Amino acid sequence: MKETDKKIYDFKSDVLFKYSLADDKDYDCRYLLKLFIEGILNIQCQDIKVLNPDLSHNHVEDKDMILDIRVTVASGKQIDIEMQNSSFSV
């Protein structure tokens, strides 16, 4: 592959994000998802459930995938999280 043919994909890509973090059966995916959520939201997760783990798209640039996550914190409170990725400039 020529240097000019290489493409770097953003982690916010729906497919990359979902493949990296949404596999409920994979310990590493669950661990990374826990670290990611705790780091961004500054919370301690007691339980994390991916509500729709089906990967219906296979191409990195596909859009319109939904990744909903339900997090339970120590107090028992549940938080629903949805990954959003929109293109806009500030």
The number of distinct structural domains making up the chain is 1
pLDDT reading at 4 higher than 80: no
Average pLDDT for the chain: 76
Give domain status of residue 26, yes or no.
yes
Give domain status of residue 90, yes or no.
no
Burial class of 71 by CB neighbour count within 10 A (0 to 12, 13 to 18, 19+): buried
Please answer whether residues 83 and 71 qualify as being in contact, where contact means their C-beta atoms are separated by less than 8 angstroms.
Answer: no
pLDDT reading at 49 higher than 50: yes
C-alpha span between 80 and 16 (Å, rounded):
20
Give domain status of residue 56, yes or no.
yes
Cα distances (angstroms) measured from residue 29 to each of 4, 19, 24, 46, 87: 31, 8, 7, 16, 26
pLDDT reading at 22 higher than 70: yes
Confidence of residue 26 (pLDDT cuts 50, 70, 90): confident
What average pLDDT does range 14-32 have in this prediction?
A: 80
